[in-house]
Each structure stands twice: as structure tokens, then as C-alpha cells.
Structure 1
Amino acid sequence: MTKSWIALACAAFAVTAPAVDAAELTGLWARGDGKAQVKVERCGDSFCATNVWIRPGTAHERVGDQLIMDVAPVEPGRYEGEAEDVRRGMTYSMTITLGDNAMRTRGCVLGQLLCKSARWTSVQ
């Protein structure tokens, strides 16, 4: 009986969960620390996130830096995959969570040993 209720609850969530499409990922995003803005757009089968504004004095970042993100939706509001930092020549595992005009990114290297997260707000 308990398994039936769990299955029913999961089915109800699947029906009522909002659908997220690539249009919600694309656009202009401001990083939560106020030091960067990126434009996310389609580039072939991937998404490209390009720094379009960096606060003066911000170390290790510059306008034009780009991540090529090969991510796909795994559930509503969540993308997973890899991202390549073009300038630094590094590849990260990437998780992106979207909701309410906000985005959270998490990139990891070395098998999830070193990770960095950022929160973003839509500038649209």
C-alpha cells in the first residue's frame, strides 16, 4: 500500500512540475557577487556562456571568456553535462538549476573533488 502512495505522489509531481526548456537557460545573467554578467546562447548543439561584463579589478576573469556547455535537461529545471573553459583549456562537470528568474551553476573537476558554485539572476 505504501508503495502505491509513493508511486501516486511521484506521478502527481511529474504532472504538475513546470517544464523547463532551453529558452529559460538562454539570456543575460548577473552573477550574485555582482562581479560578472554572462550571455548564454545556443552555439550549435551546445550552449555558450560568454562574459559580457566584468567589474573592473576582478582577478582571473575578462570580457570574452567563454564556457562551451554540453548540457542536457535531466529533469524540469535541471541540466547536467560538461563545460569547457576555452581560454584555460579545462573541462568541468556541470550542473545548472533554474527557477524563478534565477540560476545556480556548479562546476567540478577531479571527479567532484574541487567544485565551485555561483548564483545568477536573470537581467532580462
Structure 2
Amino acid sequence: MNPMMPMVVVLAIGAASMAAAADINGQWARGDGNAKVKIAPCGSDVCAVNTWIKPGTPKEKEGDKLVMSIRPDAEGSYSGTAFDPQRDMSYKLTVTVDGNKMTTKGCVVAGLLCKAIDWTRID
């Protein structure tokens, strides 16, 4: 047996699990119509950067970034943590992508306070 075979199998399994999750990258519009973001890799993480904010929306501005340390769980599902440097806050995060629809759910205080937001792909 080839000694490299186990490594090839591990890499193939890892690539298959990454491919199973729906693509989170791209342009997304928030369901309330107040924001648009671009989601893309940033180093070993994934970043969501505000590309447009509805005028008069409090506490948000273009260029604000959310750094997500997430990994695919199942087809269309990601989980991990997110850090909001503008507010110096960390969240437990789950993301579900189904075609052109995405739902993000962020939780604080040991998961006791959560908020879900719906998004639509606008690529």
C-alpha cells in the first residue's frame, strides 16, 4: 500500500465536506432593506463588509466589517464565531444558505440572546 494513500483520502474527504456546504461568498441584501454586504474570504476567516447602508440607519456604516470564523457543518450550514471590531463584540454564529437565501443567527450571553437575520443574494 502506498504510504501517501491515507493523506490523499483525508484531503479528498476534507474537500468533499467543504464542497457540500452551499457557497456563502457573494453580495447579499439584508431582509429589512437597510444593508448590503459582500462576503468573501479574508485570511483563514470569512468577512462580511457593509457595501451599502440605508441613510439614517443608526449604528451602522459602509465599510463596517464582521469577521467570521466559521466552518461548514452540513449541506448549506456553517457554524462558529463572529467578531465585530466596530463594537468589540463576539458572537456564536450559525449561517444557513439555501440557494439565493441565507439566514444568519448570532447569539451572545452564552447563547441566551439571539437574533436571526434573513438575506437575499444579489450577485
Given that 2:21 and 2:73 are in contact with CA atoms closer than 8 Å, whether structure 1 keeps it comes out as no
Write the mapping of 1:44-123 to structure 2, written as runs, cut at 5 A.
44-123=43-122
- Whole-angstrom CA distance in 1 between matches of 2:110 and 2:21: 28
CA deviation profile, 1:8-65 (whole Å, cap 9, x unmatched): xxxxxxxxxx9225xx100000000000000000001100000010000111111111
CA deviation profile, 1:68-122 (whole Å, cap 9, x unmatched): 0000001111000000001111000000000021100000000111111100000
Residue type of the alignment partner of 2:85: V
Return the TM-score normalized by structure 1: 0.82
Return the TM-score normalized by structure 2: 0.82
Residue type of the alignment partner of 2:29: A
- Residue in structure 2 matched with residue 34 of structure 1 by the alignment: 33
Given that 2:21 and 2:78 are in contact with CA atoms closer than 8 Å, whether structure 1 keeps it comes out as no
- Whole-angstrom CA distance in 2 between matches of 1:44 and 1:51: 18
- The percentage of counterpart residues that share the same residue type is 47
Residue type of the alignment partner of 1:34: G
Structure 1 unmatched ranges of 5 or more: 1-17
Residue type of the alignment partner of 2:91: Y
- Residue in structure 1 matched with residue 21 of structure 2 by the alignment: 20
Secondary structure at the aligned position of 2:20 is classed as coil
- Whole-angstrom CA distance in 1 between matches of 2:24 and 2:48: 10
Residue type of the alignment partner of 1:90: M
Secondary structure at the aligned position of 1:58 is classed as coil
Structure 2 unmatched ranges of 5 or more: 1-18
Segments of 4+ moved more than 3 angstroms: none
The CA RMSD over aligned residues, in Å, is: 1.2
- Whole-angstrom CA distance in 2 between matches of 1:45 and 1:75: 19
